[in-house]
Amino acid sequence: MNVSEALASRISCRAFKPDPVDSKTVRAIIDGARFAPSGGNLQPWRLFAVSGTPLTRLFEDIRAKMADTPRGETPEYNVYPPDLKEPYAARRFKCGEDLYASIGIERDDKPGRIRQFRRNFEMFGAPVGLFVYIDRTMGPPQWSDVGMFLQSIMLLAREHGLHTCAQEAWAQWHTTIDDHLKPPAEWMLFCGIALGYMDEDHPINTLRTERASVDEIVTFLG
């Protein structure tokens, strides 16, 4: 698989098979991703690869806490700007509506939408959860470094026949996750990544989001 094929086939997979992923494969993916670009070679990322009993215990803890605090904990950063302007607001809205439509959840089915959203906190059935942290002292340029690290993981996963879903939703449970993973205090949770084999028969994985055309995003000069 070349890079173009990996990019074209990568999706946010939201239904995984329970098949385990060999730890050597997980290590190989991360080993390759560590060569992602990083300004000044700071490499401001930290990663926890979690599976098996530790991951199950985290799921169970969050599930129990949802009964009392369904909205989770206050994130340490805004996943989206508070006043999201156009065209971004429309794109986000359409993405959500298309996602729920793919699995037959109507707009007025609030319980159904909540149940699906909570699947985030089960990694959508993936057997491996990657939790990505960034040093708290870092600024926007280093956040972009982490983004390039994430993309490297996701493309290398495709090379190994795996799929992923990057999930900033985990920021809602950062304190609970920290309690389980015990990261250094100077590291802040950025997101989780579900990693595993895609359930190709699940309708939610038919979703393909639209992208703006080249002419919409580029100004060619010269």
pLDDT digits (tens, 9 = 90+) for 87-138: 999 999 999 999 999 999 999 999 999 999 999 999 999 999 999 999 999 9
Q: What is the CATH number of the domain that holds 57?
A: 3.40.109.10
For residue 8, tell me if it sits in a domain: yes
Give pLDDT, residue 135: 97
**Residue 10 burial by CB count (10 A; 0-12/13-18/19+): exposed, middle or buried?**
middle
- Distance of alpha carbon 139 from alpha carbon 162, whole angstroms: 31
What pTM was computed for the model?
0.94
> Which tokens go with 25?
């494969």
Give pLDDT, residue 38: 98
Q: Are 15 and 198 in contact (CB under 8 A)?
A: yes
Cis, peptide link before residue 87, omega less than 30° from 0: yes
Q: Are 129 and 178 in contact (CB under 8 A)?
A: no
For residue 202, tell me if it sits in a domain: yes
Classified as helix, coil or strand, 132 is strand
104: left (phi over 0), alpha (psi -120 to 50) or beta: left
For residue 11, tell me if it sits in a domain: yes
For residue 111, tell me if it sits in a domain: no
Give pLDDT, residue 14: 97
Task: Divide the 222 residues of the chain into consecutive groups of 10 and give the mean pLDDT of each group.
Answer: 96 97 98 98 98 98 93 93 96 95 93 92 98 97 98 99 98 98 98 98 96 97 96
Give pLDDT, residue 35: 98
For residue 101, tell me if it sits in a domain: no
Q: What are phi and psi of 130, to 5 degrees?
A: -105, 130
Give pLDDT, residue 52: 98
User: For 36, what's the count of Cα atoms within 13 Å in the CB-facing half-sphere?
Assistant: 24
Query: Where in the sequence is the domain holding 63, given as residue range(s)?
Result: 3-79+122-208
- Distance of alpha carbon 114 from alpha carbon 102, whole angstroms: 15
Structurally, the chain folds into a number of domains equal to 1
Hey, what amino acid is at 24?
A: K
